[in-house]
Each structure stands twice: as C-alpha cells, then as structure tokens.
C-alpha cells in the first residue's frame, strides 16, 4: 500500500512543496468548515428554535390556565386534520387533537432534543416531540398567492420546520417556521474560499519552488557531466542565497578535485621516474654477474618489479587517462591480443566475430582483455574468448576450465592487492592487481566485469560494454 502510494507522489521539489501546502490548506479549510457549520447551527437555533419553543410554551401556559378561546381555534383543530400549505413567518401556533405531522416523514432527532430541552427549561414537560424538515416546492399553489418578495424569500430559505408537541393534557400543538439551509451556504462559501486560497497561495509557492529547483537541476546536470581532468564550466550562481552557496561550494570543490588530480599525476610521474632509473641501473649491473642462473633470477625479479610498478601506475592514473577515445574495431582488437598469446605458444582460442566498431581507449581495453586472458591461462591452462554482440550491450567472454572462484569471493577478487593464493609469487598469482585494473578500465568505459561459474567446470569472466 505504501509503495503504491509513493508512486503517485510528486518526485520534484516543486511538486512536493505544492502538495504539502495544498494538504495544509485543505486541513485548515476542513477545520474552518467545522467551526462555521457549528456557528451557523447555533445561530439557526437561536433564530428559529428559541422563538418556536417560546411560542409553544406560551400556548401551553394559556391552555393550562383556561385562557384558550375555543372560538378562535383553527379549522384543523375542529376536524383533526394536519396543517397543509406553506408556513408563514409569524410562527403561528395551532392546536390539534392528534399528531398533525404526517407519518413517514424523516424526523430530526437533534431538533426534537433541542425543543424538548427548551420546553423543560421554560417549565413545560412535553409527552412527545416530533420535528421534521420539509423542502419547499415552488409548485405549491399557495405560494402563488403570496407577494413576489415574500415568495422569493421563502424559496431562498428552501425548507420549512414542522414541530408538533404533545402536552400533559393530551393536546397537540404544532408550529411551522422557516428553516434556512445553512449547510449548503457554508459548503459553497468554503469551496469559494478554498479556490481563492489555492490561487492566492499555491501560485506563489509554485513560482518560488521553480525558482529554487531550476538552479538545483543545473547543479545536478553539471555534477553528472563532471569528468576528472577536464576543466569544468562553473555553474551560474542563481536562486536563493542558500542555493547560491551550494553552487559556489560545488564550483570550488570541482577546482580542488582537479588540483588534487594534477598533484597526483606529478607525484606519480616522479615516483615512476625515480623507481625506473635504479631498476634500469640494476639491469645493467647484473650483466657483470658470472653465474647464468643467478643473473637470470635477478633479471626476472627486475622484470617483475617493472610490471608491478606499471600496474600500480596504470591503476592510479585511470581517473585521468592520457589516451583519448577513438573508433576501434573491437573484434580486431581482441584478435590482436589473442595473437600475442599465440606467439608465446599459449593455448588461447578466439571465435571469429563480425566487425564491430566502438568508441573507446584501445590501449586500456587491450590491457583489460589481456589481464583476463592471463588469469584464464594461469589458473585454467587455456582460454576461450568470444565476442557476443547484443542490441543494448556487447559482451566479451573469457572462459577457462580452472578450479573457479567460490561465490562468496567473486567480488572480493576485484579489490586491489587481493589474491586467493596467499603467496606474493607472480608465477602463482602476482600481487592481485590484474582484475582490479581490468574492472577499473572497463568501468571507465561505462561497462562492468562479472564472474560466473562455467557449465562443466571452470570460470567465465565477462566484460559488458554499452553500445
């Protein structure tokens, strides 16, 4: 239920502010409606119920004192018929031998309770109280006999109140009075007020929300486009002071990030130069070693140090590669990497694939594919490479028949300097930078690398690149 509701809620800042204000206005108007309705009901009670109760009490008192004039009793009393026709506004009380209100009309218990309590407060205890409200029908013949002003007034009021009270002596007294339709008036007033409030309040809120949201959207677009190493275009500082402060902080942050990357590149260049120079000197000096076996071991150690240094520097420089993206035939690039392994008599197979042009950094992508093939040959003895084109993405699969990798460790092997084999011998797994470097290269190309077990045993490493 909550998830379904969240789908219909506005996602933008402007929409959420407008929804919040609209709900607050609705709640405020609902409270206002309750207060107005209560006030109107109290006013109607004082204007209609109180005079009616007073008249009925006066009639009851006159009857009890024997002052009622039978000659003046209306025709309805003598014949026992209920009153008919429209009421008048003089609150004339009529007396009857039986209940004058026709059966079947809906009764108003709230009015009956108010009349009963009012009579009790005036010292009259009724046996029964019946009250009903009847809508005025403009087609009633007696309405046509009234003057137009009074007829229009009655029609605007819209309803009449009929009250019948049975006194202690068995007499029924009845009264008919105007009954204003206060609820309908209050509802229309509330609707008009709500519309006016929405127009007066929501429009400025929407304009203010757009004024805040527009520079925030530009800031979000600039953050998504930000590429380390490229000189960013500063975002224009517009909007409220708080928003301008956020934009200014982002502009300063982007400059600091590029300055840090420049410093890192200078430091890496110095490290690479300072380490390669002594390694080259060592390579020259080992030529004077007479023992061929020792000289070969020294040369292998120096080569391993050079490769390790190259891996570390490549991984560190991926944030700002010096090689620009170009259009490359991916099938030809993979075939060239596979041919390098075949020249070294390594068992690497590549299924022929159609020409497939993509925009990427060729040297880095060759490095990523080479690292995956090296792992497959090292741990599986051989590698099978496939290029699988798709509609949305392209997959490069490198499969082997090695021992595979446990599922719990398939993500951990992509961390730098992480190895499943404990030693640091490069012949048994290197220093744990191959997969980390490969994934960093592929993610720089907006792709990813995944590992999955191969059917029948082994492992499949898959590079997925968007088309």
Rounded Cα gap, residues 93 and 109, in angstroms: 21
Q: Angle at Cα 296 formed by Cα 290 and Cα 298, nearest 5°?
A: 90
Rounded Cα gap, residues 269 and 273, in angstroms: 6
Asked if 127 and 168 touch (Cβ cutoff 8 Å), the reply is yes
Given a cut of 80, whether residue 54 has pLDDT beyond it is yes
Q: Which of 332, 316, 457, 335 is nearest to 385 (CA)?
A: 335
- Calculate mean pLDDT across residues 69-84: 41
Q: Output DSSP code: residue 66.
A: T
Residue 448: band (very low, low, confident or very high) from pLDDT cuts 50, 70, 90: very high
**pLDDT, position 169:** 84
Average pLDDT of the residues of the chain:
78
Share of the chain above pLDDT 90, in %: 13
Tell me the per-residue pLDDT of 408-437, one tens digit each, with 9 for 90 and over. 888 888 876 666 654 444 455 555 677 888
**pLDDT, position 153:** 63
Lowest mean pLDDT among 40-54, 109-123, 178-192, 364-378: 178-192
Tokens of 118: 């009012």
**pLDDT, position 156:** 65
**pLDDT, position 141:** 62
**pLDDT, position 181:** 64
**pLDDT, position 138:** 65
- Calculate mean pLDDT across residues 226-252: 84
Given a cut of 60, whether residue 288 has pLDDT beyond it is yes
- Calculate mean pLDDT across residues 357-370: 88
Residue 69: band (very low, low, confident or very high) from pLDDT cuts 50, 70, 90: very low
**pLDDT, position 189:** 74
**pLDDT, position 85:** 43
Asked if 380 and 400 touch (Cβ cutoff 8 Å), the reply is yes
Report the phi/psi class of residue 448: left, alpha or beta, with left for phi > 0 and alpha for psi in -120 to 50: beta
Distance spanning both ends of the chain, measured CA to CA: 38
**pLDDT, position 72:** 42
Residue 182: band (very low, low, confident or very high) from pLDDT cuts 50, 70, 90: low
Residue 227: band (very low, low, confident or very high) from pLDDT cuts 50, 70, 90: confident
Rounded Cα gap, residues 307 and 310, in angstroms: 5
- Calculate mean pLDDT across residues 56-76: 58
0.85 exceeded by pTM: no
CA 244 from centroid of its chain's CA atoms: 25
Tokens of 385: 């490479």
**pLDDT, position 383:** 93
Sign (positive or negative) of CA dihedral 242, 246, 251, 252: positive
Give the H or E element holding residue 238.
none
Tell me the per-residue pLDDT of 194-215, one tens digit each, with 9 for 90 and over. 888 788 888 888 888 888 888 8
Rounded Cα gap, residues 261 and 254, in angstroms: 11
Assign 393 to helix, strand or coil: strand
Helices vs strands, H then E, count in the chain: 13, 11
Given a cut of 90, whether residue 95 has pLDDT beyond it is no
Lowest mean pLDDT among 148-157, 275-284, 361-370: 148-157
Q: Which of 309, 388, 303, 374 is nearest to 337 (CA)?
A: 374
- Calculate mean pLDDT across residues 317-336: 80
């Amino acid at each position: 239920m909550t998830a379904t509701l969240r789908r219909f809620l506005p996602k933008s800042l402007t929409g959420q502010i407008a929804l919040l204000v609209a709900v607050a206005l609705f709640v405020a108007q609902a409270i206002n409606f309750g207060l107005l309705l209560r006030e109107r009901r109290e006013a109607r009670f004082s204007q209609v119920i109180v005079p009616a109760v007073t008249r009925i009490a006066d009639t009851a008192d006159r009857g009890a004192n024997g002052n009622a004039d039978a000659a003046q009793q209306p025709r309805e009393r003598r014949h026992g018929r209920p009153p008919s026709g429209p009421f008048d506004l003089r609150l004339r009380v009529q007396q009857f031998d039986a209940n004058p209100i026709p059966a079947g009309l809906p009764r108003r218990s709230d009015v009956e309770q108010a009349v009963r309590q009012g009579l009790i407060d005036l010292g009259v205890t009724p046996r029964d109280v019946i009250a009903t409200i009847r809508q005025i029908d403009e087609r009633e013949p007696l309405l046509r006999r009234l003057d137009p002003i009074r007829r229009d007034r009655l029609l605007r009021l819209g309803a009449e109140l009929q009250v019948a009270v049975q006194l202690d002596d068995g007499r029924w007294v009845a009264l008919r009075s105007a009954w204003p339709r206060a609820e309908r008036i209050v509802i229309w007033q509330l609707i008009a007020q709500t519309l006016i409030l929405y127009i007066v309040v929501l429009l400025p809120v929407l304009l203010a929300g757009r004024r805040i949201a527009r520079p925030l959207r530009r800031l979000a677009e600039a953050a998504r486009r930000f590429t380390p190493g490229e000189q960013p275009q500063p975002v224009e500082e517009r909007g409220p002071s708080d928003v301008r402060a956020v934009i200014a902080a982002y502009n300063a942050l982007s400059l600091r990030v590029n300055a840090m990357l420049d410093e890192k590149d200078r430091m890496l260049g110095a490290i690479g130069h300072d380490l390669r120079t002594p390694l080259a000197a060592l390579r020259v000096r080992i030529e004077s070693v007479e023992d061929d076996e020792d000289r070969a071991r020294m040369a292998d150690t120096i080569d391993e140090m050079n490769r390790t240094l190259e891996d570390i520097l490549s991984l560190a420089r991926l944030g700002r590669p010096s090689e620009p993206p170009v259009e490359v035939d991916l099938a030809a690039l993979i075939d060239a990497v596979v041919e390098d392994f075949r020249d070294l008599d390594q068992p690497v197979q590549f299924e022929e694939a159609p020409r497939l042009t993509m925009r990427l950094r060729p040297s880095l992508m060759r490095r990523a594919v080479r690292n995956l093939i090296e792992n497959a040959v090292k741990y599986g003895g051989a590698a099978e490479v496939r290029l699988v084109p798709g509609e949305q993405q392209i997959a490069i699969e490198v499969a082997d028949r090695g021992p595979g990798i446990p599922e719990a460790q398939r993500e951990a092997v992509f961390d730098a300097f992480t190895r499943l084999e404990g030693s640091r011998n490069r012949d048994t797994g290197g220093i744990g930078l191959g997969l980390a470097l490969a994934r960093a290269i592929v993610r720089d190309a907006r792709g990813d690398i995944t590992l999955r077990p191969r059917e029948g045993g082994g492992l499949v490493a898959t590079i997925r690149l968007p088309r």
